[in-house]
Amino acid sequence: MLPLPKKYFLTAASCEGETELTAFDGALLKARVGNTNLLKVSSILPPGCQYCPELIIPEGSLLPIAYGTIICSEPGTRIAAAVAVGVQKNNGFGVIMEYEGHCSQAEAEMMVEKMVKEAFAIRNLELADIKIVATEHVVEKIGCAFAAVPLWY
């Protein structure tokens, strides 16, 4: 059985690159997760998981992470990515929502907030707090917008 993560933070960054992969890699580096191996997870925050915004993940780690990302090669196109974490009042159980699209940062933020509220309503849970982070980028050549919630032990 895998251990439950105990810590998390929110991060978002954008980057240009010569290729789609290097744009993505640059965004990961700016988001403080570029030297890890991402293990994409679905959108549940374990009970009792603590918010640690200054958390440093060791290089080379296998990193459970929920994220939204968009890569675009149409110059002048606005792209955005956002994540939100909603936390339950009693035990800290939470839901993570991700969004990416051809939109503004504000639109992406509104979308993830709406999704967290809906996820809590579906579960009949009381929402105590929402944390949101997003990034917006206007593509020059090849751009990437990336937003994530890394989970750690």
Active site residues per annotation: 37, 42-43, 98
**Dist. CA 3–CA 58, nearest whole Å:** 17
Contact present, 2 and 152 (Cβ < 8 Å): no
Give the separation between CA 98 and CA 147, rounded to whole angstroms. 8
Place of tokens 């439950």: 4
CB atoms within 10 A of CB 45: 21
Residue with tokens 């051809």: 102
Residues 66, 43 contacting (CB under 8 angstroms): yes
Instruction: Judge contact between 42 and 66, C-beta under 8 A.
Output: yes
Encoding tokens for residue 65?
Answer: 């992470």
